[in-house]
Amino acid sequence: MSTENEGTPVPADPAAPSAPPTPPAPPTPATAPAGETAPQEAHRPTPQAAPPSAPQEDEPTAVQPTVQAHTPAPAPAPAAAGGPAGGWPPPPPTVPAWGAPQQPVPAAPAAPRRRTGGLVAAVLVASLVAGGIGGGIGYWAAERGDNGVSSTTVSSGQAPASFKRDPGTVAAVAAKALPSVVTIQAKSGGQDGEGGTGTGFVYDQEGHIVTNNHVVASAADGGTLSVTFSDGKTYDAEVVGRAEGYDVAVLKLKNAPKGLTPLPLGDSDKVAVGDSTIAIGAPFGLSNTVTTGIVSAKNRPVASGDGSGGSSSYMSALQTDASINPGNSGGPLLDASGAVIGINSAIQSTSGGFGQSQAGSIGLGFAIPVNQAKNVAQQLIRTGKPVYPVIGATVNMQDKGQGATIATQGSGGTASVTPDGPAAKAGLKAGDVITAFDDHPIDSGPTLISEIWTHKPGDSVKITYERDGKTATATVVLGERTGDS
């Protein structure tokens, strides 16, 4: 609906008035002396109304009354001395106020050529009185409704019980997914009991809940965790395992109820830019909030932290413009079919940082691809510890735009390339600049780690690198590291 000129009065076109202007009432003529003849203009015939044309489609047809005794006939308009001939238009007939009794007026004999005007006046009177009755009835109905006696308003509760949302609509997807999404309350074990609110979703019927590590980190050591479902039921939970680098954690409900419905997992590798997304979470503590958007980018390298000064997490993220705010962390990012394609984890702030401690969404949210999160969750459920794929080399994490440079030495003065490690076996050396990993461009150390962690230990990956101004390729078989360090 266009809103152009909405709220601005539009002046009427003076060339096409809705009704002809009414001239001022002529002065009352003086009574002519007996024997004199009134001015000739007074005896000019009144123009006859044009014969009625056939009624147009969608126009009401006027019905002439058959009983003339109850129709007041207009008195002849007095002629103004020296006034315009005919005095058009004649003044409108006097209409009594709505509800006032009408005094019967005896029908005055009228010349045949004046009868049409009388009928038109009668129709006008009837129309105005009918309009008054309609207004009175409307006012009466409003008064009756205000007094609570009756009402013609149909409330939403009176909608047909058979009304259902079509499968695939946002409402249908949200209604099916909400019972499997939970709000997580985490409190630390300290005296202050500080914590926060996040989101998670049911992973299996045994009561495992998948969420972000930064949601539960404060309660992981001696704290308390509670999980609330959309129906308001709350259960205590405990941490099964958490992966700080992946920013993934798995909880287990204590006394898990029967009949849990896990959310179906999609395939994040098959997601396309432009696909619809639905995010469910508890932004700023507002549980069961549903927002929508699209996948606005794929393979977005993101290094985020929880603001506590701990190690950063890295992901080759799905980017979405669905509104994601603090409290959405750990919640599912769904596709149009209701399958999980990612775990909402970070947002972009106007200051350029990533994390969940920012003010709010600016339309740039990031989710861990579900294929990666699934692998991590299964590992945590089996062993309680994360396993990371590695190349066995330390890269510079500060430089950007020129690839990932293998440092001259590792932490604590160790070798930057692990002897007999994956990179060493592939022939990589300190100073080499890795520019592509499995055909994905690499512009920095965090980007390289994000790409490495989308794979599993044992995967063979092609690496493109530069050495002394020359480009070369090598195949690296990824090693593994257990636990966070």
* Residues with a known catalytic role: 214, 247, 329
Over its C-alpha atoms, the chain yields an Rg (Å, rounded) of 41
CA–CA separation, 178 and 282 (whole Å): 12
Contact in structure between 177 and 209 (CB atoms under 8 Å): no
Strand-pair partners of 250: 210, 241
Strand-pair partners of 413: none
Q: How many residues does the chain have?
A: 485
Contacts of 84 (CB under 8 A, 6+ apart): 23
Three-state helix/strand/coil letters over 64-95: CCCCCCCCCCCCCCCCCCCCCHHHCCCCCCCC
The SS3 call for residue 252 is strand
Q: How far lies 306's CA from each of 28, 159, 168, 212, 309, in Å? A: 92, 46, 35, 10, 7
DSSP conformation class of 306: -
CA–CA separation, 445 and 449 (whole Å): 6
Contact in structure between 70 and 125 (CB atoms under 8 Å): no
Which among 200, 238, 246 has a CA at the least distance from the CA of 220?
238
